[in-house]
Structure 1
Amino acid sequence: MKNNESKQALAPIMSNISNIKRLITLLIFGLIFTSCMNKKDKIEFKEVRNIYKSVSPSISSIQRLNRNDREFAISNLKTLGNIKGFPLIEIDSLYSDYVFATFIYFETIHTKEIEFEVFGIYDEYRFGDRKLYRLDSTDLYYRTYMIPNDLCFAYRFILNDTISGEKQIITDPLNKELIPKGARKNFSWSVLDLRANEPDWNTKRFDNVGSKLDTITISSIILDNTRNIYVYLPSDYDKTNKKYPVIYLFDSFIYLNRVEVPNILDNLLHENKIEPMIAIFIDNPTRTSRDYELPMNPLFKEFVVNELIPQLKNKYRITDKPAETIIGGISYGGLAATYIAFEYDSIFGKVLTQSGSFWRDPNGDLEYANMNRTDFLINRFIKEKHREIKLFLDWGLQENMVYGANRKFVRILNQLNYDFRFIEFNGWHDWSNSRKTFPYGLLYLTDNE
């Protein structure tokens, strides 16, 4: 019969759909949420697992077919992608903590070279050149890797026309998982998420929740610049006279558009997981300003404490209690938040740091270029008096120097009897994981877990 062999070739694909479901049920959260309350507790970290170039069992089966059966199998593969979505995930029978992940793209114009870019990768050895291979003379382009079975990252395709020289960047047309959903073209990223199913606090669940987002402009004499500040106000703000708990977040674009914090707050509040609170999203005045403002810049610290906060408290009913004041950020923002709270724990009693750049020296990136961590702020925690701050930290196992510095930091926090929690996730220096860990951090810091 014409298609017996092609059906056999597709058998691994179909069987692996059910295998993936079993895999997901076996993963508990896909995140290790570790509590460390005193120095007697033993801190356990996850194993760092690498990524390897590999060969898909299903693609290999298709390659062995004759031309007619191969075309039929590829057609079925495309149909499967339209229904189930890609990348194609297949179980590795030899290594239970790995899966085969195949990035697939169908292209009829064969003057194009196709590759995928991964958000947040600074070291190319993780994936190599990332160029997709064409399967003989077919329309199928693919690239397979053996990856950890709890990996999560954002990616897109790059289409390079070798004749016109034109370059087009698109999301994966056969992957329905986008961040953020419903965004304009070239604004979203596709996401490969192998973690177990978790509550989705990021997507808007309810209409007419009543919260609002103000935009104000604040000028700084200290920094000689002007920036936008976005202020989230809970639904009952205009109905009360009380002061509200607050969270200050650097890198407003990331937290508004990638992590989608307003949706998180609305959803958690609607489910009675948190009390109403104000959120302050602090913009970067230029594309490069974060590189010199956020990495422990004393002038930026003074701007936050002596210019930003007084103006905000003059306009909004924001708490004066350190125990109700969180400061947070991602990458340099996480470093800045920890640094400012360390200097002013009388104002900021809680810190949320995501992939914090604790390797960073305040004098520049030279040490990073030399792959030599300085751990400047960590060493200040060791040498100076105990601060009254509570911390939540997260980081990715694929983040090179970031995870090493953060692991050192939590060991020090543990030895010094700080109140803290941390999450290690399997991913890069991006927001596809941070958007999922943020609600856990917020619940912990607001004593609502």
Structure 2
Amino acid sequence: MNSPKNGAKSALSLKLDAKRGDFVRGSIRGKDIQLWLVNQRGQRIRRLTDGEVAMTTFLFVVDEPLPAGLVVSGPENQNFELRIDSIILAAEQFQAVNRIESPTLLALQRKLQDGGDTKEFWQRVARDGSPLVEDNNADESLRDDQALVTFVWRGANHNVRIFGAPSGDHDEMQRLGDSDVWYRSYQVSRKARINYRLAPDVPVFDGSYRDLRRAILATAQRDPFNPMFEPANPVDRFDGTSVVELSDAPVVPWLDSSSESIKGSVTTLEIGSEILANTRDVHLYRPAGYDPAASGNALLVVFDGDQYLDEVKLPTILDNLIAAKRISCTAAVLISNPSPKSRAVELPCSDDFVRFLTDELMPLIREQSMDANRENTVLVGASYGGLASSYAALKASDVFGNVLSQSGSYWWSPGGEFGKVGSGEPNWLIREFVGADRKPVRFALQAGTFETASDILASNRHFRDCLRAKGYDVQYSEFVGGHGYFHWQHAISDGLIELLGSE
């Protein structure tokens, strides 16, 4: 609903058709707008939003026997929009059951109930491969643009989890009765690409959230029934990931390393930093025939450089984009991390790291005859690297004029860690942009539709909206996939074309 204008310090009361135990979800949009849950007597019992950001989601369970209400307050003449997305009545809430969606597994279940076995089922899986991809499901709720994807595992003792599930989480698979079949189904877009591993009998122990979550890595391995995987020559079954591409997954021609595009060169320097007190490799990509004095040259400054070099294969993508004249002549600086620990310190909004970039790295790159004007210099990063790209642009917009952020971790707050209790209010960098003057920076933001459990998708959408409200030039896109270099490899060319595209 849209509010009438209301005076400062006054309150607008709204009745809510919800009673004890009902689960309510919604959002409110409006600067400096506070939202309170009140009881029938109008007494405030819970603050749902504090008004510090322009758009906030909320959820709560009513703890009063009589219908609850909401009170909205804010500055004089300030409009707001309040949305109640859903109210799930207490009587309609239930513990999740293992509902079988796959027609194939429903038929197998009936066969087992009639005394049959799973032998023919596993023979079919061995012949046709997995996961199962079906055009319909048990209740015929699939849309025309969706497929039902069912992951299967044979013969675990205690549990099986999916690393890289379409939910964005490490989902538990269910067991089909007492058989050797473990399964989990998802309704996904036919545009999806999924890379995943399956983890049987993950250790369960008394530990921290982080330790329990990371335990999946102890047994995670490629799907033994899926013939598609990467890398091409894994060293064992635990190396690499299994891959499934559905029928409408977008074709990305820029990944073809066998094309006739003239290859650029990559050299590696080891550089030390007095500011950060460490040493790292920096990979320098120069396109074929690179002329440092040519007008219109562009320069990428890329975080997690080893991964963008080896997993994303950024030099191949740049070779092909430049040869096809889809982007201007573009060199790249790919910055490695000295260690995982240093990455966790440097990339999440570090002033010292920004000083390293501006005062140490960029002068060195110019000495290597690689440069571009500010308008053609692009910070590139994924996850924490996306966060770092936006922070560096905020602090040094006189050097960096563009940001290509892939699944940026905008949920982050100082001292924060995903899933850690007491990590502080999320979206710290978004609030910094809201409170600062607009900078001359252009953005290409990307996020995956599977990135919901981590709040990556929601926080990127929120960042997009706040940037646009401040007047920034923002190109925003969502790919059907999750969090990882496999997905960023297929999406990065779109962002490069958006920022550096040749007319």
SS of alignment partner, residue 288 of structure 1 = helix
State the one-letter code of the partner of 1:263.
T
SS of alignment partner, residue 490 of structure 2 = helix
Is contact 2:133-2:147 (8 Å) kept? no
Which residue does 1:117 correspond to in 2? 162
- CA 1:419–1:160 in structure 2 vs 1: closer, same or farther (change >3 Å)? same
SS of alignment partner, residue 339 of structure 1 = helix
- CA 1:240–1:296 in structure 2 vs 1: closer, same or farther (change >3 Å)? closer
Alpha-carbon distance in structure 2 between the residues aligned to 1:268 and 1:181: 24
Alpha-carbon distance in structure 2 between the residues aligned to 1:421 and 1:111: 45
Deviation of residue 286 (structure 1)? 0.9
1:287 aligns with 2:340: yes
Which structure has more relative contact order (CA 8 Å, sep 6+)? It is: 1
Deviation of residue 266 (structure 1)? 1.9
Number of matched pairs: 384
Moved more, 355-364 or 329-338: 355-364
Is contact 1:63-1:70 (8 Å) kept? no
Deviation of residue 436 (structure 1)? 1.9
Alpha-carbon distance in structure 1 between the residues aligned to 2:264 and 2:407: 29
Unpaired stretches in structure 1, ≥5 consecutive residues = 1-46
Which residue does 2:81 correspond to in 1? none
- CA 1:142–1:207 in structure 2 vs 1: closer, same or farther (change >3 Å)? farther
State the one-letter code of the partner of 1:262.
P
Alpha-carbon distance in structure 2 between the residues aligned to 1:334 and 1:443: 18
Is contact 2:198-2:222 (8 Å) kept? yes
State the one-letter code of the partner of 1:173.
P
State the one-letter code of the partner of 1:290.
R
- CA 1:121–1:61 in structure 2 vs 1: closer, same or farther (change >3 Å)? closer
Aligned counterpart for 1:379 among listed residues 431, 441, 448: 431
Is contact 1:358-1:375 (8 Å) kept? yes
Deviation of residue 386 (structure 1)? 1.5
Aligned counterpart for 1:342 among listed residues 375, 389, 394: 394
1:435 aligns with 2:489: yes
Alpha-carbon distance in structure 2 between the residues aligned to 1:161 and 1:342: 42
TM-score by length of 2: 0.68
Moved more, 272-281 or 357-366: 357-366
- CA 1:445–1:369 in structure 2 vs 1: closer, same or farther (change >3 Å)? farther
Is contact 1:395-1:424 (8 Å) kept? yes
Moved more, 141-150 or 338-347: 141-150
Deviation of residue 180 (structure 1)? 4.0
Which residue does 2:466 correspond to in 1? 412
- CA 1:358–1:63 in structure 2 vs 1: closer, same or farther (change >3 Å)? closer
Unpaired stretches in structure 2, ≥5 consecutive residues = 1-84, 86-95, 204-216
- CA 1:248–1:179 in structure 2 vs 1: closer, same or farther (change >3 Å)? farther
Moved more, 272-281 or 325-334: 272-281
Which residue does 2:108 correspond to in 1? 62
Which residue does 1:95 correspond to in 2? 142
- Which protein has the larger Cα radius of gyration, Structure 1 or Structure 2? 2
Deviation of residue 394 (structure 1)? 1.1
Which residue does 1:144 correspond to in 2? 184
Aligned counterpart for 2:172 among listed residues 122, 129, 150: 129
Is contact 1:135-1:142 (8 Å) kept? no
- CA 1:189–1:103 in structure 2 vs 1: closer, same or farther (change >3 Å)? same
Is contact 2:156-2:200 (8 Å) kept? no
Deviation of residue 143 (structure 1)? 0.4
Which residue does 2:248 correspond to in 1? 196
Alpha-carbon distance in structure 1 between the residues aligned to 2:288 and 2:182: 48
State the one-letter code of the partner of 2:349.
M
Which residue does 2:127 correspond to in 1? 79
TM-score by length of 1: 0.75
Is contact 1:115-1:157 (8 Å) kept? yes
Deviation of residue 313 (structure 1)? 1.2
Deviation of residue 78 (structure 1)? 2.4
SS of alignment partner, residue 64 of structure 1 = helix
Deviations for 1:357-383, whole angstroms, at most 9, x for unmatched residues?
Answer: 223223444996447643222222222
Point out the structure with the larger helix share.
1
Taking only the aligned residue pairs, the percentage that are identical comes to 26
